[in-house]
């Protein structure tokens, strides 16, 4: 018969050993986890710029090939850091935590925004990272614009917990392809964003349909989240866009 002291000591040793092993595993795996996160981030940026061959195996070399500049912007649209070296994942812009920066913005605190510039097929493309809120949690992505900042080259959206088959459809090519060729400014230069329209873009006046896409059937709240994310994020970049159009 084991004494209570023996049992408690044995249990305590097991807990300490298990905790030590878990901590060691977390420490050893952390570099691999961070690398995977960075690769997925690169893939999303490249996909929005229509580098469709980007995958987990080639994202790093393709990112360094197509991304020529990474900028850090202040709220007034001024460039506070420019990075053109390689590896591109070492850039200050790449390391910016969007969640933290948009929280700072909501609290009227100083914040910084990343901007990626790609060269593809001889054309300059501006890529804006985005973060917003869906039905069940955060949504994020990128929107790529032509050199005049008017026309959408492509988008990439992803989520962690939206409902598969409903809100989760934002991560599917069928939804994302709608954005290609849409414009975020009207012919008079007024900012319009790209509206995600419940019931279909045909509900908009004919002159406004170039600024809209169809919402996801059954995914109303997630669609509204995408709409708000696009509008709010693009507004944050307007000071820079207006200076550089």
What string of pLDDT tens digits covers the 245 residues of the chain? Answer: 567 676 677 677 777 777 776 676 666 656 656 778 899 999 999 999 999 999 999 999 999 999 999 999 999 999 999 999 999 999 999 999 999 999 999 999 999 999 999 999 999 999 999 999 999 999 999 999 999 999 999 999 999 899 999 999 999 999 999 999 999 999 999 999 999 999 999 999 999 999 999 999 999 999 999 999 999 999 999 999 999 98
**What's the confidence (pLDDT) of residue 113?**
98
**What's the confidence (pLDDT) of residue 2?**
65
Alpha-carbon span 26 to 18, nearest angstrom: 12
Q: Is the peptide bond before 202 cis (omega within 30 degrees of 0)?
A: no
**What's the confidence (pLDDT) of residue 16?**
78
Alpha-carbon span 226 to 220, nearest angstrom: 10
Phi, psi of 70 (to 5 degrees): -130, 125
**pTM score, two decimals?**
0.88
HSE-up of 162 (CA within 13 Å, CB side)?
28
**What's the confidence (pLDDT) of residue 24?**
63
| Tokens found for residue 76 | 């007034």
**What's the confidence (pLDDT) of residue 21?**
65
Cβ atoms < 10 Å from Cβ of 216? 24
Q: For the purposes of burial, counting CB atoms within 10 Å of the CB of 187, is it exposed (0-12), middle (13-18) or buried (19 or more)? A: exposed
Q: What is the DSSP string of 169-216?
A: GGGSHHHHGGGTT-BSB-TTS-B---EEETT-GGGS-GGGGGGEEEPP
Contact 123, 147 (CB under 8 A): yes
| Tokens found for residue 139 | 């949504």
Chain centroid to Cα 74, Å, comes to 18
Contact 141, 37 (CB under 8 A): no
């Amino acid at each position: 018969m084991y004494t209570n002291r023996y049992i408690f000591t044995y249990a305590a040793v097991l807990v300490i050993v298990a905790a030590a092993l878990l901590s060691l595993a977390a420490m050893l795996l952390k570099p691999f986890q961070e690398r995977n996160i960075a690769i997925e981030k690169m893939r999303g940026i490249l996909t929005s710029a229509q580098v469709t061959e980007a995958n987990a195996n080639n994202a790093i070399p393709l990112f360094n090939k197509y991304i020529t500049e990474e900028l850090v912007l202040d709220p007034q649209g001024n460039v506070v850091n420019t990075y053109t070296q390689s590896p591109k994942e070492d850039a200050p812009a790449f390391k910016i935590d969007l969640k933290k920066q948009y929280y700072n913005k909501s609290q009227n605190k100083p914040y910084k925004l990343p901007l990626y510039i790609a060269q593809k097929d001889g054309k300059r493309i501006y890529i804006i990272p985005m973060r917003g809120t869906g039905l069940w949690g955060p949504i994020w992505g990128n929107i790529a614009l032509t050199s005049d900042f008017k026309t959408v080259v492509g988008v990439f959206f992803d989520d962690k917990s939206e409902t598969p088959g409903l809100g989760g459809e934002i991560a599917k090519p069928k939804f994302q392809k709608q954005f290609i060729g849409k414009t975020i400014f009207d012919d008079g230069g007024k900012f319009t964003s790209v509206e995600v329209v419940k019931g279909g873009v045909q509900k908009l006046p004919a002159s406004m349909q170039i600024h809209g896409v169809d919402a996801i059937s059954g995914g109303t709240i997630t669609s509204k989240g995408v709409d708000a994310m696009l509008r709010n994020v693009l507004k944050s970049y307007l000071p820079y866009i207006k200076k550089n159009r």
